[in-house]
Amino acid sequence: MKLDLSPQDIEFQEEVRAFLRDNLTPELAAAGRLATSVFIEPEFTLPWQRILHARGWVAPHWPKEYGGPGWSEMQRYIFATETARAGAPGLAPMGLGMVGPCIIGYGTPEQKAHYLPRILSGEDYWCQGYSEPGSGSDLASLQLRAVSDGDDYILNGTKIWTTHAHHANKMFCLVRTDPAAKPQQGITFLLLDMNTPGIKVDPIITLAGEHELNQVFFDDVRVPKSGRLGEENDGWSVAKYLLEFERSGGSSAGLEAGLSRLHSYVAGLGDADLMRRTTELATRIEAIKGTEQRILSAVSSGKPPGPAASMLKIQRTELMQAVDELSIMAGGLQACVHQLDAVHPLSNVEPVGPKELVTAMPRYLNNRAGSIYGGSNEIQRGIIAKGVLGL
């Protein structure tokens, strides 16, 4: 496994750094630094997306013929690492990272021509209609009904935990088209317009006091069959395709940068126990980077990430939660103050307590879900037990 950067990779790394110095504004960097969740408000992500789109760098994993930059796996890793270290706001993943690749893999020529340019530009902002009140980890039990009616499906039911549905104008959605079939065999994958009559979006306010999640209700919603991705009743295959590489992508650089800032603050406290804990977490980050590099080496050789992707998902989310817990410990009582006004990147509100820890509590509360979303860590351990240990 050769992991040293080649001269070409070093040259590319310098190109990315120069681009970030020239284009990442203080406001956009503040949005990345003050993020309390994976999802950042589109008032910051969309301007950054337009900047990246103009450079041709907005979709690192897309094939070049569909608007991707044509990078190697190492270049993608370098780009993810450098943007995270610079504090760039993460782009909304539902379009670029999830439904876009699905449309490339399963879409008709007409669907590709219509949707892909709008995803790249940010003209379409997507949300994901997967979970339901009784179908979360057991997604195959979903019940949102889609009844065929001529050239349309008529949808009735609900989706929940729908991130940024209040911002989205599009949704990719799993629906039940054959209730008599085995659970995975009666599901269809649909692309739909959120402005369609009969769709109602109700906010869900998180423990952190933020409006990120929603429940979406469908009451006789008519969706054209031209929005179906893949074949009817084969939506489970499309959904699995979407998740195939989701857990293995990205970089731990953002986590490393956050821990570095926490380390600098803790060092000023003179607390030996907190310093010891911070050092232990830094060691765990090095282990995560080793896993990332093993996956990078495998994918660069044309191999799938395999169970290592599940290992990486567990390592990242559990370390993220450990960093959050340590931030709360470092902040003490001041970390418990509810002060979302001070978290907004354009706010002039002075925080209570140290500025370095103003996001500690909302991040702690939001990131409790990290070990559940994207496939719970218990499920990932089952994959490892089967794929590595043969259990």
Predicted pLDDT of residue 102: 93
Predicted pLDDT of residue 1: 45
CATH topology of domain 126-235: Butyryl-CoA Dehydrogenase, subunit A; domain 2 (2.40.110)
CA distance 88 to 92: 12
Predicted pLDDT of residue 250: 62
The verdict on whether 356 is a catalytic residue reads: no
Residue spans of alpha helices (H) in the chain: 7-23, 26-33, 42-55, 73-86, 93, 100-106, 109-121, 235-243, 253-269, 272-300, 307-331, 360-366, 377-387
- In sequence order, the β-bridge partners of residue 145 are 156, 176
Q: Which amino acid is at 372?
A: I
Q: Token pair for residue 312?
A: 């990486």
Which DSSP string corresponds to 340-353? GGGTSTT--PPPSS
Q: Residue ranges of the chain with pLDDT lower than 70?
A: 1-3, 137, 243-250, 300, 302, 304
Torsion, Cα 262 268 272 278, to 10 degrees, reads 10
Per CATH, the architecture of 246-387 is what? Up-down Bundle (1.20)
Reference 251, options 79, 92, 45; nearest CA is: 79
In this prediction the pTM is 0.90
- 302's CB contacts (< 8 A; 6+ apart) are none
Q: Which amino acid is at 298?
A: A
Q: Are strands 145-149 and 199-205 parallel, antiparallel or unpaired?
A: unpaired
CATH 1.20.140.10 residue window(s) in the chain: 246-387
Predicted pLDDT of residue 265: 92
CATH 2.40.110.10 residue window(s) in the chain: 126-235
Predicted pLDDT of residue 244: 59
Q: Which of 246, 280, 318, 350 is catalytic?
A: 246
Burial of residue 180 (number of CB atoms within 10 Å: 0-12, 13-18, 19+) = exposed
